[in-house]
Every structure is written in structure tokens, then in C-alpha cells.
Amino acid sequence: MELQNRSAAVWLIAGAGIGAAAMYFWDPNRGRVRRAMLQDQAASLARKGEHEARKRTEDLLNRSKGIVAKADAGLPIEANAVSDDIVVERVRSHLGHLTRHAHDIQTEVNEGVVTLRGAVAPDKHRRLVNDVLAVPSVRGVRDLLVTAKEAACAS
């Protein structure tokens, strides 16, 4: 018996909620404005969802391109040979992200082996060489760099 009373109470509360919502949205004075606001909010939510879906699709596409590029980089050198001019540009671009004084470092590439000359800060020397070695198509690095302290003593 008690279960039937609970069920009846739930239906009563649900009916009262539906009735209150109907009165709220179909009120002769403000109902039209409230319905318009609800419609605007629903449209805004749909636009946000579409924007989010577009962002996630673009992210997935970019990640897929990255996976393909990494797989391509893992192929033997002959399969994805790149000219020395392109390797120089890649290294120069990468140096710009590593140090403010990239213009002080001269780079030469011969068959994928990069030669670095110039002065660098002592704390950036090892990282710079390791990061250049990680640039795609770089087969080796000849480190002729001097630290900034050594460069000051030499001049």
C-alpha cells in the first residue's frame, strides 16, 4: 500500500511541475518572451556544441598527421631523403626556438651532418646540440661551438 502512495506522490509532483512549466512558458503577459529566451539559449548551446565538435575534429586530424609524419621519419634515410638546404632551414628554424642569439650560430649541412659554429651560453650548449640532433633528417652534428666565456677569452 505504501508503494502505491509513493508512486501516486511522484506522479502528483511530476504533474505539478509540468503544470508550473506550462503556466510559466504560456503566460499571456511574459510567456512569449520566456519562450524566445529559451529558444535563444538552446540555439547558443547548439552553436557551442558545433564549435567544440569542430575543434575536436581538427585536433584529431592534426594528431593523425603527426602520427603519419613520425612514421615517415622512422623510414630509412634513402626512403625520405631531404636536401641539405631543407635541413639547414629546419635547423635554423629550430635554433630560433632554442636561443635568442641564433643569428650568432653558423650552420652548414653536408649529407645530413650539421656543423655548428659560434658562441653560445654555457648552460645552453649541451641542450642545443642534442636538440639539433633531434631535428628530422639530421644524421649527425659536428659541434664547433664555444661557450660564451671561451669566446670572450679568445677575442
98-145 per-position pLDDT tens digit: 888 788 899 999 988 999 999 888 888 899 999 999 888 888 999 999
Residue 99's pLDDT is 82
Name the phi and psi angles at 120, rounded to 5: -135, 160
Per the structure block, which three cell numbers stand in for 67?
A: 602520427
Q: Sketch the domain layout of the chain as residue ranges.
A: 2-69, 81-154
Task: Identify the pLDDT of residue 70.
Answer: 81
0.85 surpassed by pTM:
no
d(CA 27, CA 35): 10
E strand segments, the chain: 106-110, 113-120, 140-147
Domain 81-154 sits in CATH at 3.30.1340.30
For residue 141, the SS3 value is strand
